């Protein structure tokens, strides 16, 4: 298997450059405060930000972004490594097959006779296994994790790539203009002249913590475009959120007369530089290739009839459909997972609320309520995948929660893992919709969960989940608030 790559950027251009070069990255936005990062770095060097060269600035910001994502992954790996309790694994397809065989034997039916087996078949296609006695097995989560190394115990990778770009023109460093008036002034000044686009990269090997970084630049020669062309270009919105107010691969490409240097660096990712940086970490660039040319796995003409997600939603490692023996297709080539996060009453310790996701209309069973989660990425254990997805979708921070159990619905070629978690004593998770996969994310009172329009699978599992959560809460202990907003645990 290739070494997973995490891109600490939401730039479609950077992602596309990597993808075209054979690397499909996991996208994890860093949310770094860039001015503050530059101020800290300058202060540590005893200078002002204005004293920093453009090369220093892009490398400082690239490293800050990579380190922010490194810390986030460390939190995920730590929370997964500290998980305890049991994993209950259910085998519903065995129950369906057994139900069908029993019905056929009792009715004297043959393989073409559906009499007596209709309820089992219908439940299979709706993923509603209520009323079916599903066999289960239980084992300690620690034993499960021993069989899924994940990122916590990886020998190499994932590689976390941080990037930053700035444009140097007339001795001034330009970042993103954000404002139409700023973009207009810059584009007017740049026409007919040259400037330098600098790109900084930082690569961190998560397994070792080793870091390599560097910067590249290219000279950009601009054409003598008109005021009307500037006005219309700004109206597209493209130049507002890109370094230097222009792009090489978009609407602005026609205004660029030539490039001296690495053109990929102008698009935000210098592939030659990245190859050198990964080599410094002892990793071959070709070990990162994970893109097969042709139609992405799991796609078909049938997909064209499905609700279309926003164009910003991109393919990532682990995304794709798996055809299952149950007669349905499931999302996640490595399986899928989500977090069922519960809050306990500070006085009684009983479960009071859970975090729920109101799913976007374009998603499967759009408009229904479920738990935050999604496809497990390459190299992740199911618990790590659930923790990563729950932050990306719902802002559930791994350092603030404790994994206390899990439930895995095993379908053979695919499985879904529900991770049970509580807020840590003294911690508060503030959920919110971090991406466009949710209409809303909120704490829902425990006793009101059945009143929502639930995803089919959650509606089926909820009675067992509710009972297990309350049992876990009872065994976990009673939480009492102490003076100074601290918290202690007492055995139940």
Looking at per-residue confidence, does 203 or 481 come out higher? 203
| Residues in CB range of 87: below 8 A, 6 or more apart | 138, 139, 140, 141, 144, 405, 406, 407, 408, 417
pTM comes to: 0.82
pLDDT for 402 equals 95
Which segments of the chain belong to CATH 3.90.950.10? 5-78+156-288
What is the architecture of the domain spanning 5-78+156-288?
A: Alpha-Beta Complex (3.90)
Closest to 97 measured CA to CA, from 414, 412, 456:
412
Which residue intervals of the chain bear CATH 3.90.79.10? 320-479
d(CA 110, CA 373): 41
Spatial distance between the Cα atoms of 290 and 286, rounded to a whole number of angstroms: 9
Query: For residue 111, what pLDDT is reported?
Result: 39
pLDDT at residue 438, rounded to an integer: 87
The pLDDT confidence band at residue 247, using thresholds 50, 70 and 90, is confident
pLDDT by residue (tens digit) across 24-72? Answer: 999 998 989 999 999 999 999 999 999 999 999 999 999 999 999 999 9
Q: Is 24 helix (H, G, I), strand (E, B) or coil?
A: coil
CATH numeric code, 320-479: 3.90.79.10
Residue 471 predicted with pLDDT over 80 = yes
The 10s digit of each residue's pLDDT in 3-25 is: 999 999 988 889 999 999 999 99
Q: Are 167 and 174 in contact (CB under 8 A)?
A: yes
Confidence of residue 94 (pLDDT cuts 50, 70, 90): confident
Question: Which pLDDT belongs to residue 295?
Answer: 44
Structure tokens at 315: 């393919």
Token output for 336: 């899928």
For tokens 């049991």, what's the residue? 86
Percent of the chain whose predicted confidence (pLDDT) is above 70: 85
Active site positions, annotated: 164
Handedness of CA 100, 101, 106, 109 (dihedral sign): positive
User: Would you tell me how many other CB atoms lie within 10 Å of the CB of residue 325?
Assistant: 13
Residue among 256, 135, 285, 133 nearest 193 (CA):
256
Q: What is the mean pLDDT of residues 129-135?
A: 74
What local confidence, expressed as pLDDT, does residue 53 receive?
A: 93
Q: Output Rg (C-alpha) for the chain, integer angstroms.
A: 26
- Mode of pairing for the β-strands spanning 5-7 and 26-27: parallel
Mean pLDDT of 402-422: 94
pLDDT-based confidence at 164, cuts 50/70/90? very high
DSSP state at residue 412: S
The average pLDDT across 436-454 equals: 93
Q: Is the pLDDT of residue 97 over 60?
A: no
Quick one: pLDDT at residue 422? 97
Nearest CA among 189, 181, 185, 246 for reference residue 220: 246
Higher pLDDT, 96 or 43: 43
């Amino acid at each position: 298997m290739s070494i997973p790559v995490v891109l600490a950027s939401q730039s479609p251009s950077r992602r596309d450059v990597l993808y075209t070069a054979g690397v499909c990255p996991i996208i994890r936005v860093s949310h770094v405060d860039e001015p503050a990062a530059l101020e800290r770095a300058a202060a540590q060097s005893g200078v002002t930000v204005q004293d920093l060269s453009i090369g220093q600035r892009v490398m400082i910001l690239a490293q800050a972004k990579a380190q922010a994502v490194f810390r986030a992954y460390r939190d995920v790996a730590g929370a997964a490594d500290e998980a305890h309790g049991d994993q209950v694994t259910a085998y519903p397809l065995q129950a369906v097959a057994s139900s069908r065989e029993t019905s056929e034997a009792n009715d004297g039916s043959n393989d073409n006779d559906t009499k007596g087996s209709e309820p089992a078949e219908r439940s299979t296609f709706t993923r509603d296994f209520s009323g079916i006695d599903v066999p289960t097995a239980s084992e300690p989560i620690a034993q499960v994790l021993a069989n899924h190394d994940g990122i916590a115990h990886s020998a190499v990778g994932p590689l976390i790539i941080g990037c930053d770009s700035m444009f140097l023109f007339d001795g001034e460093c330009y970042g993103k203009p954000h404002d139409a008036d700023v973009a207009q002034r810059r584009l007017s000044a740049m026409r007919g002249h040259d400037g330098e686009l600098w790109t900084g990269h930082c690569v961190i090997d998560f397994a070792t913590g080793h870091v390599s970084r560097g910067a590249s630049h290219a000279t950009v020669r601009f054409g003598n475009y008109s005021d009307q062309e500037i006005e219309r270009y700004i109206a597209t919105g493209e130049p507002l959120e890109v370094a230097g107010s222009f792009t090489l691969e978009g609407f602005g490409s026609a205004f660029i007369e030539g490039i001296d240097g690495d053109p990929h660096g102008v698009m935000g990712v210098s592939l030659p530089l990245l190859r050198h940086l990964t080599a410094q970490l002892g990793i071959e660039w070709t070990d990162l290739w994970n893109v097969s040319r042709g139609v992405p796995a799991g796609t078909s003409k049938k997909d064209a009839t499905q609700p279309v997600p926003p164009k910003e939603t991109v393919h990532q490692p682990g995304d794709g459909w798996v055809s299952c023996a149950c007669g349905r297709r499931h999302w996640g080539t490595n399986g899928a997972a989500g977090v069922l996060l519960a809050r306990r009453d500070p006085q009684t310790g009983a479960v009071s609320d859970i975090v729920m996701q109101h799913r976007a209309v374009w998603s499967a069973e759009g408009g229904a309520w479920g738990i935050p989660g999604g496809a497990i990425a390459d190299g992740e254990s199911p618990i790590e995948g659930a923790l990563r997805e729950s932050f990306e979708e719902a802002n559930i921070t791994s350092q603030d929660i404790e994994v206390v159990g899990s439930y895995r619905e095993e379908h053979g070629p695919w499985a879904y893992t529900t991770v049970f978690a509580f807020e840590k004593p003294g911690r508060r998770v503030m959920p919110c919709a971090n991406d466009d996969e949710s209409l809303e994310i909120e704490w829902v009172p425990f006793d009101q969960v059945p009143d929502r329009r639930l995803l089919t699978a959650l509606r089926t599992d909820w009675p067992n989940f509710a009972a297990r959560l309350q049992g876990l809460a009872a065994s976990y202990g009673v939480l009492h608030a102490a003076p100074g907003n601290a918290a202690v645990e007492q055995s139940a």
